[in-house]
Amino acid sequence: MRVLSLLSLTSLIFGGAIFGFFYAWVCSTMWGLDAADPRLAIGAMQAMNASVRNMVFAPAFFGTPAVMLLTGLVALRAGEKHAGFWFSGAAIIYLVFGLLLTMRFNVPMNRDLAQLVVPEDIETARAIWLDYSPRWQAFNIARTIASGLSLLMVGMGILTLSRR
């Protein structure tokens, strides 16, 4: 049961980290970029997208579904089928609507933006940013909701375990 407790807390930390990361983009980062000169917004987004590929971010982004699924499997093996359901469900939700959605939509958009030279003309930059930002944000909101739901499901798994 000690292993399950540690895995549960690890799932909570990973789920909270990735939800917080996506949520920050929703409620501050993108609003700030949208309010800035679009030439600066493009350059800043290019820099942020390049910097996010690092060993601090990777465990939360890629490891979250693995940790949650492992927690679910350990819970099931321990006879905790309801908790196993919550943790496994959290893993599937994040995997499909967080990680895979990001890889399918946000990452290609980021690659396309990275290939652009920031235009000197503000109207050209504004057109590029207005084409990019609303679409990128729509996918980000979807992955934020999914990771929030996944985090909630981890919480439900922990509650289920604590009631026993």
Q: Domain-by-domain residue ranges, the chain?
A: 2-162
Nearest CA-CA partner of 72 in 148, 131, 156, 164: 156
Task: Render pLDDT for 49-99 as a digit per residue (tens, 0 to 9).
Answer: 999 989 999 999 999 999 999 999 999 999 999 999 999 999 999 999 999
Task: Render pLDDT for 133-149 as a digit per residue (tens, 0 to 9).
Answer: 999 999 999 999 999 99
Are the CB atoms for 41 and 133 separated by under 8 Å?
yes
Give pTM, 2 decimals.
0.94
CA distance readout (Å), 57 to 28, 89, 99, 120: 19, 23, 13, 32
Q: How far apart are alpha carbons 85 and 80 in whole angstroms?
A: 9
